[in-house]
């Protein structure tokens, strides 16, 4: 029987999943590593940490499932999008990778727009605007500020594609992740040589791009010794974490969107054709379904805001659990139970979840987080609930942009941390004014690329067939009429807060620069 392995190189951890040819999950594992912030607004990781986590994860899932790694018949790769790994001719990382939530490239984004001939012309080339999180401005930043590393660079890789290199020795990517570099012709599904020329980026720095189900290489001897996988095991293109998570949630047809809360928060919709993006407030990319496209928004600190709350308020408890080698995730459950004690709307208390700047709906690296509306009546429960409501309002921002663009949203499939709690799923249904469902697996991106590996190795004929084989709805939450109206009013107030404070955020950023 075929065994499929999915690997998702996330921001806080690499998640590994093993499933059968019928899509049944046998085991999962997670291995954490640090994020470095050497300057305010910077976010970096050591790519070697990802590789160590991959090795650890493969061993852990095989041990849990009672399987030998040599039994695995296909590998799919996913990872945090937009990151940049600069490697030399030997495939060695030259510096820490700059991550998706790194905000240092404001000047480079402006330069990209200027060189492209303006924002509208840039959108016409690559269907997206220049955002600080994207890969292209990071390449320009390293070229200017770390010229020694740039001169030694042989290839610039996305995070999952660095793992592909370690597994197979091949330099390759695929269209869904490549679209997030700002260097891909999204409609044509190939690198945009015209823009590369304007930016003076050598096309040879970029790997070949494929569709997500294409086998891009095979496990080599060095990787086999490190991981236990059999030499020659096929590795498919895979997908960026958002398209991969959409596959794992069955978002392969119109009318259903996913709302996934990891560190970031993403609302994702499938499309059978390229999605116009004239305003540039969403990301319009290639989907991991061959020949299809997608549109999604991304708020930068969804689960990240909740993680910040846990790590600052409950630092001693988290440290004690880690010292005892217990899961610090149980602290989230305690915080949600505390939030349930506060009234809906928190008596006028709001939380702005802009802890690392923002991308959607406000592409503003200077945006800041805040509790607003505090009175002596508010307690810890109110503060926690306001954070969870603020995160969910931020997710609704994306849904409203899609609705305004004419997308029919009948169902929202919850994923990530926001799907784990029945209470939070109901909160989402009330705030989104939509039916919120969950499915039989919450493994998201790792599961999605395992299914892609099944397609690439012939287990399934198509991606929709793979999703039909393994995915079913397990829970459904409908909006409550009374709470929906209350949250509509609260959301309207929430929407007024950022425009009122945007100028102050910029001044604060200038003071702290």
b (16+ CB within 10 A) / e for 30-47: bbebebeeeeebbbbbbb
- As beta bridge partners, residue 185 has 190
Nearest one of 355, 401, 393 to 486, comparing CA atoms? 393
User: Which H or E element spans position 184?
Assistant: strand 184-185
Q: How far apart are CA 36 and CA 403, in angstroms?
A: 37
Report whether the peptide linkage leading into residue 361 is cis, meaning its omega lies within 30 degrees of zero.
yes
Give the three-state DSSP class for 107.
helix
Quote the tokens at residue 147: 């010229």
CA–CA separation, 106 and 265 (whole Å): 22
Taking CA atoms, 439 is separated from 8, 332, 459, in Å, by: 19, 21, 22
C-alpha radius of gyration, the chain, whole number: 22
Tokens of 301: 């600190």
CA–CA gap between residue 248 and residue 445 (Å, rounded): 6
Tokens of 366: 């200077």
* Tally of CA atoms within 13 A in the half-sphere of 193 that contains its CB: 3
Please, are residues 186 and 179 in contact by the beta-carbon 8 Å criterion?
A: yes
Our answer to whether residue 241 is catalytic in this structure is yes
Handedness of CA 236, 237, 241, 243 (dihedral sign): negative
Contact between 447 and 22 (Cβ < 8 Å):
no
Q: Is there a contact between 16 and 28 (Cβ–Cβ < 8 Å)?
A: yes
Active-site residue, selected from the candidate residues 241, 364, 430, 433: 241
Evaluate the CA torsion angle 399, 77, 424, 256 in order and state its sign. Answer: positive
DSSP 8-state symbol, 324: T
C-alpha–C-alpha distance, residues 360 and 128, integer Å: 13
- Burial of 89 per CB tally in 10 Å (0-12, 13-18, 19+): exposed
What string of H, E and C letters represents the secondary structure of 342-364?
CCHHHHHCEEECCECEECCCCCE
| Positions marked active-site | 241
């Amino acid at each position: 029987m075929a065994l499929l392995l999915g690997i998702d190189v996330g921001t806080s951890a690499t998640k590994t999943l093993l499933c059968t040819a019928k899509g049944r999950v046998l085991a999962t594992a997670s291995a954490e590593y640090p994020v470095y912030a050497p300057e305010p607004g910077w976010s970096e990781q050591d790519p070697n940490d990802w590789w160590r986590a991959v090795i650890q994860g493969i061993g852990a899932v095989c041990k849990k499932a009672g399987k030998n790694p040599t039994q695995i018949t296909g590998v799919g790769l996913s990872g945090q999008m937009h990151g940049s790994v600069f490697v030399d001719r030997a495939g060695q990382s030259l510096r820490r990778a700059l991550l998706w939530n790194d905000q240092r490239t404001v000047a480079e984004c402006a330069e990209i727009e200027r060189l492209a001939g303006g924002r509208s012309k840039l959108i016409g080339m690559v269907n997206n605007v220049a955002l600080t999180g994207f890969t292209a401005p990071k390449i320009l930043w390293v070229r200017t500020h770390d010229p020694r590393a740039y001169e030694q660079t042989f290839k610039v890789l996305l995070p999952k594609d660095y793992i592909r290199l370690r597994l197979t020795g091949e330099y390759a990517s695929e269209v869904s992740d490549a679209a997030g570099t700002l260097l891909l012709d999204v409609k044509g599904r190939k690198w945009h040589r015209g823009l590369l020329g304007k930016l003076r980026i050598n096309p040879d720095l970029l790997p070949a791009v494929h569709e997500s189900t294409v086998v891009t290489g095979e496990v080599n001897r060095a990787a086999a010794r490190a991981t236990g996988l059999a030499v020659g095991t096929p590795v498919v293109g895979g997908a960026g974490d958002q398209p991969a998570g959409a596959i794992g949630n069955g978002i392969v047809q119109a009318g259903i969107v996913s709302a996934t809360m990891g560190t970031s928060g993403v609302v994702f919709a499938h499309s059978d054709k390229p999605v116009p993006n004239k305003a540039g407030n969403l990301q319009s990319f290639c989907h991991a379904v061959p020949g299809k496209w997608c549109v999604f928004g991304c708020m930068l600190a969804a689960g990240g805001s909740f993680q910040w709350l846990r790590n600052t308020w409950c630092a001693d408890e988290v440290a004690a659990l880690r010292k005892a080698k217990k899961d610090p995730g149980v602290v989230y459950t305690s915080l949600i139970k505390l939030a349930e004690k506060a009234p809906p709307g928190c008596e006028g208390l709001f939380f702005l979840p802009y802890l690392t700047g923002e991308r959607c709906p406000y592409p503003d690296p200077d945006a800041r987080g805040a509790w607003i509306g505090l009175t002596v009546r508010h307690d810890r429960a109110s503060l926690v609930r306001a954070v969870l409501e603020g995160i969910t309002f931020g997710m609704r921002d994306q849904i409203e942009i899609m609705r305004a663009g004419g997308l029919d949203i009948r169902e929202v499939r919850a994923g990530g941390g926001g799907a784990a709690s029945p209470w939070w799923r109901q909160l989402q249904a009330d705030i989104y004014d939509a039916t919120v469902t969950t499915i039989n697996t919450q493994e998201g991106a790792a599961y999605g690329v395992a299914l892609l590996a099944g397609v690439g190795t012939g287990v399934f004929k198509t991606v929709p067939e793979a999703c039909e084989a393994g995915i079913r709805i397990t829970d459904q939450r409908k909006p409550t009429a009374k709470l929906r109206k209350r949250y509509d009013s609260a959301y309207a107030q929430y929407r007024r807060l950022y425009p009122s404070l945007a100028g102050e955020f910029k001044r604060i950023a200038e003071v702290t620069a």
